[in-house]
Structure 1
Amino acid sequence: MSSSYDKFQKRRLISSYFSVVLSVFLVLFLLGMLGLFIINSKKLADDFRENIAMTVFFKNEANDTIIKSFDAELKKAPFAKTFEYVSKDAAAKQHTDIIGEDFVTFLGENPLQNSFDIHLKADYVYRDSIAKVESQLRKNPMISDIVYDKQLVNLVNDNIKKVSMWILIISGFFTIIAVLLINSSLRLSIHSNRFIIKTMQMVGATKAFIRKPFVLRSVRLGMIGAGLAILALIGVLIYLESNFPDLGLLDDQLLIALVLISVFALGVLITWLSTYFATQRFLNLRTDDLY
């Protein structure tokens, strides 16, 4: 009879451990995914900004020397990420390919101008910053016009701000849920041992002595759950990198390492705090309140 009861207790204990590890794993995995999304969201936002092109048109009297001089300036300019020179002949060919007719032959001359397509660095694709860049470039007397989509710049920045705000709200919401779920699982685990806790207290064991094995056990379970979450996150990153290499998810390895370390630390911290307060609660209860 006692053997059957011992087996039942062992199965219940294993089930309790498994539920704690599973809840820690799932919650930390979701938080880790959210963390990885946050650190890559800036990269994605920067990519959106840097895809907005600024086109600088030169007057017809601008000769090759002026063009080469401007090219050299752009190479040294802190705001230019990439740029490409588009001659008027190349621009005419592009337009001919698009519309399907040779408009140069029809008009008798090429009305287009030599130009540079400049992609600015993300830090300069803001309303004030890009206006300063435009003002600086317009000081060149050989530049006839500068064209870029001002509405798109404002729209991209406004939407990025909104998305960033919602990401922060969702992050905070998920963090609270994570703490509550892990805390709930650990409290249920401690609740099943409430009589053992009170018996140890009645025979003279100190609160610190009673808490220690429960805290250590929960921290170990938290470390196991966090370790599994880290392995799962690494697997997801490797899968996405192999299938979508253009995203460059593994470029910033320092931030990725920081997220993984934070996941592990969070798993240890939440399980330690939850177990500490759960055991403290039962230690402060009267014997009659245990029922």
Structure 2
Amino acid sequence: MASSFENYNRRRLISSYFSVVLSIFLVLFLLGTLGLFVINSKKMTNDFKENIPMTVFFKNEAKDSVLNAFDTQMKNSKFIKEYAFVHKDSAAKHNVDIVGKDFMEFLGFNPLQNSFDIHLKGDYVIADSIKKFENEIKKNEYVAEIIYDKQLVDLVNNNIKKISMWILIISGFLAVIAMLLINSSLRLSIYSHRFTIKTMQMVGATKSFIRKPFIWRSIKLGLIGSVLAIIALLGMIHYVDGVFPSLGIAKDYISIGIVFGGILAIGITITWISTFFATQRFLNLRTDDLY
């Protein structure tokens, strides 16, 4: 009979520990995911911005020397991430591949112009910087036209501001929820030991002596939950890096280290504080209030 009761208590204790670790793991994984997103948000927005193309068309009068000079200008420009020269003959061939008909056969000439396809650095894909870059290019008298999606640029920048504001609000909300969830799980775990706590206190044990094993146990559970969250985040980082290799998230060791260090710190700190106040509450209760 005693053995059966001990097994029941052991299973209940294991179940309690498992729920605490699971709560810590889920909360820290969510916070870690959000942390990685916040840290890498600039990379992600820049990656999207840098995919917005700008095309500079040159007049037919522009000779090779003019095009070469412009090529050198682009190479030395602080605005440029990458660029490529597109010869009008190559553009015509590409058009034939897409449309399936050779328009030069009935026109008798190639109406297309030599051009440069340009991708600006993400930091410069804003209205003021693009306008400055555009005015700089227009100084070249052989430039015929500059084309890019102005509405898309404005839309992206406006949405980034809104998203950034909501991320800060959600981050604060989730941080509060995280502390409440972990605190609730730990308090439930300690609640099952309330009679043990009061018995130790009645035989003369000091409050710090009673708290110590509970705090150490909670810190261990916090470490286990933190390590599990880190392992899950490593898997997520590997997956995201495979889908979006241009972001280089997996190679940003400093950001990853900051997030993982934060997860460990949060896991230990919240469990320590929650356990301290939970045990303190039961230590201050009267014996009659335990039931």
TM-score, with structure 1 as normaliser: 0.91
Output the CA distance in 2 between the equivalents of 1:241 and 1:129.
30
Deviates more, 1:200-209 or 1:21-30: 200-209
Determine whether 1:144 maps to 2:144: yes
* Deviation of 1:161 (Å): 2.5
How high is the sequence identity, in percent, across the aligned residues?
Answer: 65
The residue type equivalent to 2:230 in the other structure is I
Equivalent residue of 2:54, what SS? Answer: strand
| 1:184 and 2:184 matched | yes
Query: Structure 2 matches for 1:1-291, cutoff 5 A?
Result: 1-242=1-242, 245=245, 248-291=248-291
Indicate the SS of the match to 1:56: strand
Q: 1:189 Cα deviation (Å)?
A: 1.0
Residue 232 of structure 1: how far off its partner (Å): 2.0
Q: Give the counterpart letter for 1:157 in structure 2.
A: N
Taking a change above 3 Å as real, the CA distance of residues 40 and 17 of structure 1, as seen in their structure-2 partners, is same
- What letter is aligned with 1:207? K
Amino acid at match of 1:279: T
Q: What secondary structure sits across from 1:73 in the alignment?
A: helix
Shift of 1:247: 5.7
Counterpart secondary structure, 1:158: helix
Tell me by how many angstroms 1:118 deviates: 0.6
User: How far apart in 1 are the matches of 2:241 and 2:144?
Assistant: 44
TM-score by length of 2: 0.91
Aligned-residue CA RMSD (Å): 2.1
Cα 1:95–1:5 change in 2 (3 A) is: closer
Letter aligned with residue 28 of structure 1: L
Partner Cα distance (1:205, 1:199) in 2: 9
- Report how far residue 135 of structure 1 moved: 1.5
> Residues of 2 paired with 1:135 and 1:87: CA distance?
23
Shift in Å at residue 275 of structure 1?
0.6
Give, as a single letter, the amino acid of the residue that structure 1 aligns with 2:10: K
Q: Which deviates more from structure 2 when the two are superposed, residues 198-207 or residues 229-238?
A: 198-207
CA contact (8 A) 2:47 2:247 kept: no
CA distance in 1, matches of 2:251, 2:123: 19
- Gap runs ≥5 in structure 1: none
Secondary structure in structure 1 of the residue aligned to 2:109: coil
The change in CA–CA distance for 1:44 and 1:262 in structure 2 (over 3 A counts) is: same
**Which stretch has the larger CA shift, 274-283 or 137-146?**
137-146
Partner SS for 2:280: helix
CA distance in 1, matches of 2:42, 2:135: 27
Deviation by residue 1:179-215 (Cα, 9 ceiling, x = unmatched): 1111111001111122222233333333222221111
56-65 or 121-130, which deviates more: 56-65
Q: Aligned partners of 2:215 and 2:263: how far apart in 1? A: 19
Query: In the aligned structure 2, how far is the partner of 1:242 from the partner of 1:140?
Result: 42
